[in-house]
Amino acid sequence: MIPSWNSMGVLPPIRPGAKGNSPDRPPYIVDLSVFISHFCISQERKKILDGLMRLRHELHNMGMTSGFQWLNGSFSENVELIEKRGPNDIDVVTFYYLPSGEDQSTLISKAPDLFHSKHIKDKYFVDGYYIMLGDELDEVSVRLVNYWYSMWSHKRDNFWKGFVQVSLDPSADLAAAAILNA
């Protein structure tokens, strides 16, 4: 379950009621349909969620079906209340395993536009980034995860906040799309 926005208009950095050292903290891991239900509260947000769903469809068509996505940005905040505007996009980091028989260059060559941030922001309303998962945890991977966690656990004014994680598995997309289009 995704907690409600707190008084600062953000997802709480620790689940309400949990102790300060509790592991019950972001990313809040939920099904994609739960995420859609929670955040599809305006036409602007519905447009952005539709873009996210279309991008996921393209990633699945390339074979990127194993991994997860961290979802955040002003989209996960109550910007309508705290900034008197709607969100412009959703920030997404896709952590993925290479499809069988692929390497990073062959995967990217299937749809190079999906790896250009301006293209996916313009077409899908997603400010997107990618981190390849693998068998070994190396120093670069640790730094990248640390970077995104530290960036996403705070607002620009250093106020703590939370974010959400959904599976990259396409089996959840049909139910999520039904909720989005209801």
Report the chain (182 residues): mean pLDDT per 10 consecutive residues: 94 87 88 97 97 98 96 96 96 95 94 96 97 81 85 82 95 95 90
Helix/strand/coil percent split, the chain, to 5: 45, 15, 40
3-class state of residue 178 by DSSP: helix
**Side-chain half-sphere CA neighbours of 148 within 13 A:** 24
Q: In terms of Cα–Cα distance, which of 134, 160, 133, 137 is closest to 149?
A: 160
What is this structure's pTM? 0.93
HSE, CB side, 13 Å, CA atoms: give it for residue 157.
4
Domains of the chain, with CATH numbers? 28-150+162-180 (3.30.460)
- The whole-angstrom separation of Cα 129 and Cα 48 is 16
Neighbouring-strand partners of residue 70: 93, 165
Q: In this predicted structure, what is the pLDDT of residue 137?
A: 67
